[in-house]
Structure 1
Amino acid sequence: MTRIGRTMALFTVAGCLVLAGCAQPGQLGSPAPATTDPPPAPAAPPTSPPPAGPVEVGVGTVQDRVSIRTPGPAVFSVRTVVLAPGATTGWHRLPGTEMSIVKSGSISLLEENACDPVRYGPGQAMFVRDGVPHLARNDGPEPAELVVTSLLAPGAPEREDVPPACPGT
């Protein structure tokens, strides 16, 4: 071998040694070290998209004529209320109007000057005029779910508890 050939062979061997020193664990036949890190957490399942279009909260029919007026701006509120068997809303009045739909179960409504309870079942709705003391009561064996809407003056309290307007309640 010539001197140039030996020099080339030496450079080739030296280059291989340098490159071998740069190899990462697991390359060039050396085993990768054991890791102590836990495996990555699985990706969260995709959430289902919201339903397309409007979602109906409840539907009910009011049997009486309804007339609503406000002297100015009003706050419109919608809530779900569940009354357990035997539970009541307590006697109260609102500084505004209230309309409720019975979604499930049944309730009895008593109003000031109308102390004979009126019973409402699923799909029925009731209207309580502005400021009228009233009480809703679940006389049935299952929970009663109501969708309660109210129309109140801005800044007015949501309700005012009042003494019973009917004897024995």
Structure 2
Amino acid sequence: MTRFGRSARSIAPLVVLAGLLLAGCAQPGQLGHDAPPPPPAASPVAAAQAPPPLPTGTADVGRGTLPARIQMSTLGPADVSVRTVELAPGESTGWHRHPGFETTIVNSGEVTVQTAEECAPQRIGAGDAVFVPDAQAHLMRNDGTVPAQLVVTQVLAPDAPDRSGVAAACGNSSLR
């Protein structure tokens, strides 16, 4: 036997051992292992359109659309209040202001809104919303023939009164 032949016989067990060790490190799809099936491709658009379901017992109190861009911020902590308000036909909130901002959604009926910033009366109906900036004098009045149901959210200065009455900010005395 040649010297090369003896070396090959002595190395052969090492090659087999190395092969067994490397086979233990093989990944799925290598060395005859089955590759796992690829995960289903999720469309980013489909994923964005399918939010998780809401918890059981969740219901909208109100939903409305603001007609323009709004900006809300506070200088520190704030009290948040959400309440339902019903204005009977002919009933008004009277001119008032809040130490913070307000968003009102009309769930049913219609109201006329008037602000000190824009004195022209504006009618808003079911599905509409109005934003009143911090401390702006305003009023809402039901000029319709059916009750107006509102959802009013206020973000106010902590421990401040919800509202304070003010003199009529516009010359239209019929909206007091």
TM-score normalized by the length of structure 2? 0.66
Aligned residues: 119
Return 5+ residue gaps in structure 1 as ranges.
Answer: 1-50
Which structure: greater strand fraction? 1
- Equivalent residue number for residue 77 of structure 2: 73
- Equivalent residue number for residue 51 of structure 2: none
Paired with 1:150 and 1:59, the residues of 2 have a C-alpha distance of 15
TM-score normalized by the length of structure 1? 0.68
Point out 4+ residue stretches in structure 1 off by more than 4 angstroms.
Answer: none
Paired with 1:110 and 1:83, the residues of 2 have a C-alpha distance of 15
Contact 2:93 2:140 in 1 (8 A): yes
Does 1:56 find its partner at 2:60?
Answer: yes
Which structure: greater helix fraction? 2
- Equivalent residue number for residue 111 of structure 1: 115
Q: Which amino acid aligns with 1:93?
A: R
- The one-character-per-residue Cα deviations of 1:8-42 (angstroms, maximum 9, x if unpaired) are xxxxxxxxxxxxxxxxxxxxxxxxxxxxxxxxxxx
CA RMSD of aligned residues (A): 1.1
Paired with 2:57 and 2:88, the residues of 1 have a C-alpha distance of 32
Q: What is the CA-CA distance between 1:115 and the residue it aligns to?
A: 1.5
- Equivalent residue number for residue 137 of structure 1: 141
Paired with 2:158 and 2:117, the residues of 1 have a C-alpha distance of 28
Return 5+ residue gaps in structure 2 as ranges.
Answer: 1-54
Q: What is the CA-CA distance between 1:53 and the residue it aligns to?
A: 3.6
Contact 2:99 2:161 in 1 (8 A): yes
